[in-house]
Chain A
């Protein structure tokens, strides 16, 4: 077996780049050819291909040859793993913000709110 980086590592590294996130956002709307992906990003074909290599290595997308076109498609599994890793953090802060809203709404808060201003 080939020694790869940890799967989650590859996912996060792939997602760290804004262009790759934009590509994923485009693919979240539906499959696209490499040419279609390159057009809105004003990028050269090789530049797009490089990004697609990273995304494919992270299992975020899959490519399929169809005639002379290469069709790209989102593979949400890796993204879901990254998301699952983050979920407890997200939940923590959402709850904390809920608590904070309640706390700030209390007229008898923990501290007196001064009103000069």
Chain B
């Protein structure tokens, strides 16, 4: 679909190899109970999970930290290609990133040693979101930012 090319370059790209079959990994992306078990940051749990995993439906998680603070996040399933990828919109409902809509694409790829899972978080082509949040920088930002961390002190001294 043309929609894919309309989205901005990835903001963020992460990949990891899992020693399981592609079908097994994809199942873990589709199954509501499984998603509830893993799709949250460290130190949080998933208190509510609605994950219909059908294109056009909405998903929603309520993540809770150790203080009981709730972080609801949700979005819509945009594209699902079995054992290939799932693409969804991603919007935090509250807190610092509230209302910022991004697109997350999780894709799986068979490898000799298992399955490579790649996450790409992308901006939207929407002008409003673009103005507000300036999407559209590339994956190599990850590499550059490592450099940035190492050169921080030098620049700080200059400024």
Q: A12 an interface residue at 8 Å Cβ cutoff? A: yes
CB distance from A95 to the nearest CB of B (A): 4
Q: How many A-B contacts if CB must be within 8 Å?
A: 129
CB distance from B109 to the nearest CB of A (A): 15
- Bound Cα distance A55, B102 (Å): 24
Q: A63 an interface residue at 8 Å Cβ cutoff? A: no
Instruction: Give the bracket for the number of chain B residues in contact with chain A.
Output: 35 or more
Q: B14 an interface residue at 8 Å Cβ cutoff? A: yes
Q: Is the CB of A99 within 8 A of B141?
A: no
CB distance from B43 to the nearest CB of A (A): 8
Grouping DSSP codes into helix (H, G, I), strand (E, B) and loop, the B interface class, with mixed when no group exceeds half, is mixed
Grouping DSSP codes into helix (H, G, I), strand (E, B) and loop, the A interface class, with mixed when no group exceeds half, is helix
Pick the contact of A104: B25, B119, B145, B147 (CB < 8 A): B25
Within 8 A of B (CB), among A64-89: 74-77, 79-80, 82-83, 86, 88-89
Which residues of the partner chain B approach A21 to less than 8 Å between Cβ atoms?
138, 140-141, 144
CB distance from B40 to the nearest CB of A (A): 7
Binding site for A on B (CB under 8 A): 8-9, 11-12, 14, 16, 18-21, 23-25, 27-28, 31, 33-34, 37-42, 96-97, 102, 117, 119, 121, 123, 131, 133-138, 140-145, 147-149, 151-152, 155, 159
Binding site for B on A (CB under 8 A): 5-6, 8-16, 18, 21, 24-25, 28, 74-77, 79-80, 82-83, 86, 88-104, 109-111, 113, 117
